[in-house]
Each structure stands twice: as C-alpha cells, then as structure tokens.
A = this chain, B = another copy of it.
Amino acid sequence: MNVRQKPERTRLSAEDWEDAALNLIAEQGVGALAVEALARQLGVTKGSFYWHFRTREALLQAALERWEQYGEREIISQIEAIPDPRERLPELFRRVAHELHPHRVYAALLKALDHPLVVPVMARVSKRRTEFLHTAYSEAGLEAEEALNRARLTYAAYVGFLQLNFTLGLPRLSHEEFDAYVEHMIATLIPA
C-alpha cells in the first residue's frame, strides 16, 4: 500500500488525476474522493489540482467519463469474434468471472449510486451491456421476448453478485465454490 508508481513524477496531467481518482474510488469508494487526500497520494498539493480542474465534481465527472470510455471494449470484441453464437455466452460468463479490477470499480460505483453524477453513467453502461446480452441470447436461440428477459435476469444476477460478494463480503466463496457457482449460472441461464 501507499506506493507511488513513480516516486518523482515531477509534472502531472489531468489524466493522471483522473486515473488516480479511479483507483481511489475502486479502493475506498466515491465518498473518499477528496482533493487534498488525492493530492497527498500524488505527492502534490491542492494548488496543482485546481489548476487542472475547476472543482471536485469536475474531476469525478471526468474520471467517470474516462472509465465509461475505456471500459469493456476488448472483452466485447473478443466475444463477438467467437464464430459459434452458442459458445459465446458461456465463454463470456467464464471470462468475466475471472476479471478483477474492472469489478472493483464497478462495485464501488454501485455502492455510490447515491451520487447524482454516477447514476447516468451506470445507467448507460448497464443498458449497453444488457443489450449486448439481449442479442447474444437471441443468437443463441431464444425468441425475442424471452431473450430480453433472460438478458435482464442475467445482468441483474451479475450486479447482485457483485454487491453480495464484493461489497458485503458475504459467502466468501472458495475458488472451487466460485467456479461451481459460475457453472451453475451457465447451466441455469443459458439454453442448452
């Protein structure tokens, strides 16, 4: 903990602040996003911050936009590259299940749904992902109505799982238990 990536990074850019903000959010939540704290962590003072950003909210906004931009790109394209549509969903499940850092941020944002700024971002992201699932289920053979509801159900299960196991450290699943759970999801949610 408390390690600076580069001990002396004599000059900072707005992007540096945004990245640092996202990291801090991932570790301590949106509520902990304070400019003096961030400044300390970056080895500078407020003076620097208020040169790059007009306000604290502006940083949050920028950081969220940044996150929304460079969020899922790769995974989606990787999945779409799989030729057989029926193999895509299981592969998606397993791949997503073994991610970590993206989930941290998403979970942190999930428990910061108080804040008005994060709501629209999360809404957009969730919408896009649900739509992706929707078409995936359609291509896997479900008919329209059913595919949509299954997509909703799947994404809800994903979001809920993050809350229960990430934020609340609820069942504390072992590696094997977790894998078994994922396989159970696949068996239950994906048509044979």
In the complex, chain B residues whose CB is within 8 Å of the CB of A123 = 168-170
**Would A149 and B184 be within 8 Å (CB), given that A157-B156, A159-B163, A163-B160 are in contact?**
yes
In the complex, chain B residues whose CB is within 8 Å of the CB of A180 = 145, 149
In the complex, chain B residues whose CB is within 8 Å of the CB of A164 = 126, 152, 155-156, 159
Min CB distance A153 to B, Å, is 6
A residues contacting the other copy or chain, number (CB 8 A): 40
Interface residue from B114, B145, B153 paired with A112 (Cβ < 8 Å): B114
Q: Find the B residue at minimum CB distance from A154.
A: B157
A181 at the interface (CB under 8 A from B): yes
In residues 154-192 of chain A, which contact B (Cβ within 8 Å)? 155-161, 163-164, 167-171, 180-181, 184-185, 188-189
